[in-house]
Structure 1
Amino acid sequence: MLALNAGLSFAQVPGPAGAPHPPTEAVEIKLDTVTVQRGDLQQTVEAVGKLQFHHFADVNVQVAGQIKEVLCAVGDAVQEGKPVMEISPAVRAESNLAQMARLRAELADQQAQTDFAELQFKRQTQLKAQNATREESVESSRMNLASARARVDSINAQIQQLEATLKFDEESSRHRQVPAPLSGTVVAVNARPGQTVSVGQAGPPLMRIADLSQMTVQARVAEVDVTRLKRGMTANFQTPGYPGRTWSGKLRQVIPVPADGTGEQGKQTFYNVLFEVDNPEQELMSGMSTQVQFIVAQAKDAVLLPANLLGKRDAAGMYQVNVVNLERRIVVRKVKIGLRTTQQAQVLSGLEAGEQVLVGPVPTPALLPKPVAPAAAP
């Protein structure tokens, strides 16, 4: 806002010769005024935050084994499906094949014993029909046949289990190369040659790959402000690493639980708010600090007035200001206010751009005449 000093003066002019009143000097009154101007106004919610990866994936092995070689390092660009590690699977194919041969031999032997037990049972059954054998012999042959068949079933079950193991071993031998789960940049490597790995092991990931073309800003917003935020609103931020630059995004999500370490034992409560920003040149990096402004409301090309010139609002919701008009007189004007910040207010009615608003109290006299030129000598 442009502050102007309006110099106003008024005088008593000497009358004709012989007038009863002596001449007096002109009195000048200086007034501080502000010119009403047009501009843009925004209501914002301020917050601090951090940049983090938006899309990333961890590299894990599909079979147990030992890492043979790590094919990339931190900072390398990789393509989805391309190998990033080689491992030696921990399989025992030879011993499993030998066990399979032994089980098949046992099955053949047991099948022969089962066939013999069936013949014995048939013979005892025929003899029993002719009353040529005892009941105990018949039952004994029946039991021997049932036992032989059970052993055949057991060996078949072991063979099926071993076949599954051999199939897994064969499949594992094909996973000597560990592929990248997505295209991006390697941002962490915790694997080393010779390291023994297993499926689903705990601890840090062997490797992490992130897509750096888009980043996420995680901002911490105080609970008094978070209710003003809505999904899809514009969010701008700056980071100390690039002074003078501003990035923008759209609010994606307000996490509905307090941020870690807040809202406990009298601490102020904050909520994490997330939005994404494009990063085609990969200038922004994970962990950078940000100063975020969420735009709650805005007005374009609005009539603006310094907020400190507004007093108390009356019952009709209007504010009273003092305007210095074109006749250099001070007149009272009621104005209606829209958006308002700590520094500026949007004037909806009552003022126009270019008008002069008085700063401070109204001087005496309240109505000031135009400056009067001194009269000529008689």
Structure 2
Amino acid sequence: MIDKHDSARHPTLLAAAALVLALHADISFAQVSVPSPPKLETVTAQRGDLQQIVNATGKLQFRRYADVNVQVAGQIKDVLVAVGDAVKDGQLLMEISPAVRAQQVESSRAQMARLRAELADQQAQTDFAESQFKRQTQLKAQNATREESFESSRMNLSSARARMDSINAQIRQLEATLKADEESSLHKQVLAPLSGTVVALNARAGQTVSVGQAGAPLMRIADLSQMTVRARVAEVDVTRLKRGMTANFQTPGYPGRTWSGKLRQVIPVPAEGTGEQGKQTFYNVLFEVDNPEQELMSGMTTQVQFIVAQAKDAVLLPADLLGQRDAAGMYLLNVVDRDQRIVARKVKIGLRAGQQVQVLSGLAAGEQVLAGPAPTSALPPESDAPAGRP
């Protein structure tokens, strides 16, 4: 504090103090009188990838497999593989003791030899009967034989020919039986029809089997190097799918992992149990996935994403920033420039996926788009920018 006596003695000090007080008052007045600029809520346009997808659930199944059964009736002598074994095309899987024994084949061959001998003898008798009939025919033309002799020769020829036909029929029947018996003896070994893994086995040593028996196959061999995904797609989405498009999927057995394939086929009939009595219609969609390590197994559940369209390194914005589209297909946005001025900007939109859209033109990555209504005070007098979000 400055004493009044000091003030009298020091007028210069008093003047200086008054000047400081005056300046301080001016500064405080200036700070109070200048309003703060309005705070604008903005969203930054960013670069990223965008995908339009169709979601579906599905199951893994074998791409290639073959069921193994016997070609002859008999008894299984030995089974040489087990479930999980890898086999090669043509590898021996089982041995069969055919129901047809070798003695039966030999008996059929002996019977065949006898029938052929009878056929040869009958052929000779038929040739003789033909010559007799020709002679009687000539004599009858010359009225040199009796009618009874002529008729007798004709009947003998007919009988000989009938016996020939009978023997030939027996030979043909026995040939068919003998062929089947001989083939049975050759199919004592059951071989693998393809290379793969034994995934099912219903055969055991001592089991009696027959050709075309009902029930489960004796063995199933599958190629596990490639699996098929059978996905169920709703009818509202299936028309968006095309052959060759990328399909990704995950399975609960391998959290965090994704497999990919190419769509092979849309089966053009409803999936079983759908589309009836008011039920939603689904269609089965197939695609393959490589399985070199045989990690994927038949029956696993899959969550599938079919990629309908995608954009790489695109300029992205939240879809809720868009308003109504104009006649030219453009959208009007409020863009905030570096000087915090709001400028109207028309943009063209491409893909839409979820809550994001792709900006094709009119906006660059890093630019700020006004998210809320534009304050009136923030609009420049000469600007024709909209007062709020379109």
Normalized against structure 2, the TM-score is what? Answer: 0.82
1:280 equivalenced with 2:292 (yes/no): yes
**What pairs up with 1:77-156 in 2 under 5 angstroms?**
77-91=86-100, 92-104=104-116, 106-107=118-119, 110-111=122-123, 113-114=125-126, 117=129, 121=133, 134-156=146-168
Equivalent residue for 2:276, pick from 251, 257, 264: 264
Partner of 1:38: 47
Q: Give the distance between the partners of 2:31 and 2:209, measured in 1 at CA.
A: 110
Q: Which range moved further: 327-336 or 219-228?
A: 327-336
Q: Which range moved further: 147-156 or 129-138?
A: 129-138
Q: Which range moved further: 106-115 or 321-330?
A: 106-115
SS of equivalent to 1:66: strand
Indicate if the aligned counterparts of 1:73 and 1:186 stay in contact, CA closer than 8 A.
yes
1:317 equivalenced with 2:329 (yes/no): yes
Q: 1:41 to 1:15 in 2, by over 3 A?
A: farther
**What pairs up with 1:215-364 in 2 under 5 angstroms?**
215-364=227-376
1:219 Cα deviation after fit? 0.9
1:114 Cα deviation after fit? 4.2
Q: Which range moved further: 203-212 or 47-56?
A: 203-212
Q: 1:329 to 1:94 in 2, by over 3 A?
A: same
Q: Which has the higher strand share?
A: 1
SS of equivalent to 1:74: coil
SS of equivalent to 1:283: coil
Indicate if the aligned counterparts of 2:38 and 2:378 stay in contact, CA closer than 8 A.
no
SS of equivalent to 2:159: helix
Q: 1:43 to 1:142 in 2, by over 3 A?
A: same
Equivalent residue for 1:54, pick from 63, 66, 80: 63
User: Match for 2:321: what amino acid?
Assistant: L
Partner of 2:72: 63
1:352 Cα deviation after fit? 1.1
Q: Give the distance between the partners of 1:128 and 1:295, measured in 2 at CA.
A: 97
Partner of 2:211: 199
Q: Which range moved further: 86-95 or 350-359?
A: 86-95
Q: 1:159 to 1:24 in 2, by over 3 A?
A: same
Q: Give the distance between the partners of 1:102 and 1:325, measured in 2 at CA.
A: 111
Q: Give the distance between the partners of 1:25 and 1:321, measured in 2 at CA.
A: 30
Q: Deviations over 1:242-283 (max 9, x none)?
A: 111111111111111111111111111111111111111111
Q: Give the distance between the partners of 1:105 and 1:163, measured in 2 at CA.
A: 15
Q: Give the distance between the partners of 2:226 and 2:31, measured in 1 at CA.
A: 83
Q: Give the distance between the partners of 1:130 and 1:335, measured in 2 at CA.
A: 119
Q: Which has the higher helix share?
A: 2
Indicate if the aligned counterparts of 1:328 and 1:368 stay in contact, CA closer than 8 A.
no
1:160 Cα deviation after fit? 3.2
1:361 Cα deviation after fit? 2.2
SS of equivalent to 1:365: helix
Q: Which has the larger radius of gyration?
A: 2
Q: Deviations over 1:19-65 (max 9, x none)?
A: 9x995474464433221111111111111111111111111322232
SS of equivalent to 2:41: strand
SS of equivalent to 2:284: strand
1:121 Cα deviation after fit? 4.8
Indicate if the aligned counterparts of 2:88 and 2:192 stay in contact, CA closer than 8 A.
yes
Q: Give the distance between the partners of 2:254 and 2:70, measured in 1 at CA.
A: 39
Q: Give the distance between the partners of 1:173 and 1:282, measured in 2 at CA.
A: 38
Q: Give the distance between the partners of 1:22 and 1:151, measured in 2 at CA.
A: 136
User: Match for 1:277: what amino acid?
Assistant: V
Q: 1:290 to 1:106 in 2, by over 3 A?
A: same
Indicate if the aligned counterparts of 2:51 and 2:309 stay in contact, CA closer than 8 A.
yes
Partner of 2:174: 162
1:74 equivalenced with 2:83 (yes/no): yes
Q: Deviations over 1:140-191 (max 9, x none)?
A: 2320222022202311231233133223322321211011110000111122
Q: 1:351 to 1:122 in 2, by over 3 A?
A: closer
- What's the Cα RMSD here? 2.9
User: Match for 2:166: what amino acid?
Assistant: S
1:86 Cα deviation after fit? 1.2
User: Match for 1:354: what amino acid?
Assistant: G
SS of equivalent to 2:377: coil
Q: Which range moved further: 149-158 or 183-192?
A: 149-158
Q: 1:341 to 1:141 in 2, by over 3 A?
A: same
Q: Which range moved further: 274-283 or 138-147?
A: 138-147
SS of equivalent to 1:31: coil
Q: 1:239 to 1:368 in 2, by over 3 A?
A: farther
Normalized against structure 1, the TM-score is what? Answer: 0.84
Q: 1:117 to 1:336 in 2, by over 3 A?
A: closer
User: Match for 2:55: what amino acid?
Assistant: E
